A and B are shown apart, each in its own frame.
Chain A
Amino acid sequence: MSVLGPYAVFIGTSYALVVLVVAGLIAAIVLDYRRQQAELRRLEASGVTRRSGKSPEQT
């Protein structure tokens, strides 16, 4: 960080924030996808199907 001069803290904090927020966004979307898939599997197991006869997971 010393190569960044006297403002290293501001630069480092900025990049760290971006990494944190972007990683948080990715994690939230991935976890949400897993939640939806689990709920679909649960519904399918209980016999609820789509009009097309396809499993919701197939699309």
Chain B
Amino acid sequence: MFLARLANPSRFMAFTARVLPWLAIVTALLLALGLYQSWTAPDDYQQGATVKIMFIHVPNAWLSMFVWMVMSASALGTLVWKHPLADVAAKAAAPIGAAFTFLALATGSLWGRPMWGTYWQWDARLTSMLILFLMYLSLIALWRAVEDPTRAARAAAVLTLVGAINIPIIKFSVDWWNTLHQGESVFRMGGPTLDRAFLIPLFTMAMAFTLLFITLHLAAMRNEILRRRIRTLQMMQADGRAL
């Protein structure tokens, strides 16, 4: 019911105007706590201090997939319910998802060089993540290329849902294929294989980055709603009549 009320763009703008400053404050505090926990965490017996890279790499990797799932849910909203905010949500999320995916790839690469002896390996996990990054870029390009927002929304929604096939491939790639990338160590049957000393900073950072995504996403959605209103007003102005 609450979400249904928020689905009205004007109510959404009013609600987010009140909530965003608080969200930003909580995000900043949680990020500060996560960074403190990350930098005071002990060295791993195998990875040494490079375990600190995991505290930023893993949350970014999780979010890169989570954002695509958010966009997929929005794509259903666009195609099935034709909801005006659904495409706004998807379009606003894409650049943020692309940034998280880039960071997951870059920090993974910077961890891989000292640990694996190479920045890059064409294994299933790394390659499927690279494909996800390219799909984000394709979607952003598509929204920019098609001028009519309705047509762009439909095409982007279809591409998003097709691209969602890649998410389980990324997730289970370490189980389905023999990869250089290590297997699942947190969300697995039998519980995490990580020590609490690493799990706590990891979860704090994951929560902080998730809140960061929510904050940035809401702010970007507000911008997109304003952009669409401006477009409508400009069209009316061009027609030479007031709304």
Contact = CB atoms under 8 A, between A and B. Distances in A.
Interface of A: 3-8, 10-11, 13-15, 17-18, 21-22, 24-26, 28-30, 32-33, 36-37, 39-40, 43, 46-51, 56, 59
B223 A32 contact: yes
A17 B229 contact: no
Given A10-B53, A29-B223, A32-B220, 4 more contacts: A17-B106, A21-B99, A43-B237, A56-B233
B227 interface: yes
Interface stretch (B107-115, B124-132, B153-161): B107-115
B190 to A, nearest CB: 30
A48 B110 CA distance: 52
Contacts, number: 100
Chain B, interface residues (CB within 8 Å), range: 35 or more
B13 interface: yes
Nearest to A33: B223
11 contacts: A10-B111, A11-B53, A25-B216, A29-B216, A29-B223, A36-B226, A36-B227, A43-B234, A47-B242, A59-B10, A59-B13
A33 B212 CA distance: 17
